[in-house]
């Protein structure tokens, strides 16, 4: 063979080793040019095509598994700067490359979900802080009510004692047997109301699910007192 014939027989540059500049060339290199109208219909160019996942290709209308796998393999090889047309021995490497890209997409979604969870936790923490502030304020007011109720109870006891002394010294007319005096009845009612209010506001009494509301008798005393 002469040098001239050897030069003529030299292999040309493999088109598959040249990175395409448009989607039509890429699909032609991997033998999937028949799907070009599908991407034209979806306004998908080369730049968009290189970002698609297997699920995206399915949504575009590529229902067959074989073409989708070839396309995802070509996308993976593009990002790895490898020849687009794979051989049989490279199939396993292509599979791993595609799986890595899919895992990358899942990782992105997981990071977004994590950020949303962090935002929810932050909101819950803020809400907890506000609620704790309300609880502290409510306990403070409850303690103030307890102090007023305690003072009222002491004053009622003092008034009852004074009335008892005055009744003994002045010699007030005794009511008929079995009928208490009007003053004694009023003082007993006021004392019962003061005791009920004192029990409702006592901070030493446990407050929980088993003791969330006062008894009907206590509610009646407080309602009468407030009215």
Q: For residue range 68-88, list pLDDT tens digits in order.
A: 888 888 887 887 766 666 555
For residue 116, name the pLDDT band (cuts at 50, 70, 90). Answer: very high
Residue 152 makes CB contacts below 8 A (sequence gap 6+) with 194, 197, 198
pLDDT of residue 119: 92
H-helix segments, 171-203: 182-200
Q: How far apart (Å, rounded) are the C-alpha atoms in residues 28 and 52? A: 18
The answer to whether the CB of 83 falls within 8 A of the CB of 26 is: no
Between 53 and 168, residue with greater pLDDT = 53
Q: Would you state the structure tokens that stand for residue 63, as one six-digit string?
A: 């229902």
pTM: 0.37
How many percent of the chain have pLDDT more than 90?
A: 8
The answer to whether the CB of 198 falls within 8 A of the CB of 149 is: yes
Between 207 and 150, residue with greater pLDDT = 150
Q: In which residue are the tokens 């007319």 written?
A: 173
- The whole-angstrom distance between residue 125's C-alpha and the CA centroid of its chain comes to 11
């Amino acid at each position: 063979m002469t040098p001239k014939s050897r030069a003529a027989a030299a292999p040309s540059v493999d088109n598959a080793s040249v990175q395409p500049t448009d989607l039509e060339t890429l699909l032609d290199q991997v033998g999937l040019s028949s799907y070009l109208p599908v991407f034209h219909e979806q306004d998908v160019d080369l730049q968009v095509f290189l970002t698609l996942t297997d699920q995206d290709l399915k949504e575009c209308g590529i229902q067959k598994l074989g073409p989708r796998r070839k396309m995802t393999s070509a996308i993976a090889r593009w990002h790895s700067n490898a020849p687009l047309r794979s051989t049989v021995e490279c199939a396993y490497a292509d599979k791993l490359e595609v799986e890595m890209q899919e895992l990358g997409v899942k990782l992105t979604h997981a990071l977004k979900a994590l950020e949303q969870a962090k935002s929810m936790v932050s909101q819950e923490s803020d809400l907890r802080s506000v609620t704790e502030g309300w609880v502290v304020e409510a306990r403070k007011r409850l303690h103030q009510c307890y102090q007023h109720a305690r003072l009222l109870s002491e004053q009622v006891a003092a008034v009852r004692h004074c009335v008892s002394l005055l009744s003994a010294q002045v010699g007030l007319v005794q009511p008929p047997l079995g009928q208490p005096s009007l003053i004694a009845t009023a003082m007993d009612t006021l004392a019962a109301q003061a005791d009920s209010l004192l029990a409702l506001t006592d901070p030493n009494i446990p407050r929980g699910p088993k003791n969330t509301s006062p008894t009907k008798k206590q509610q009646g005393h407080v309602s009468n007192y407030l009215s």
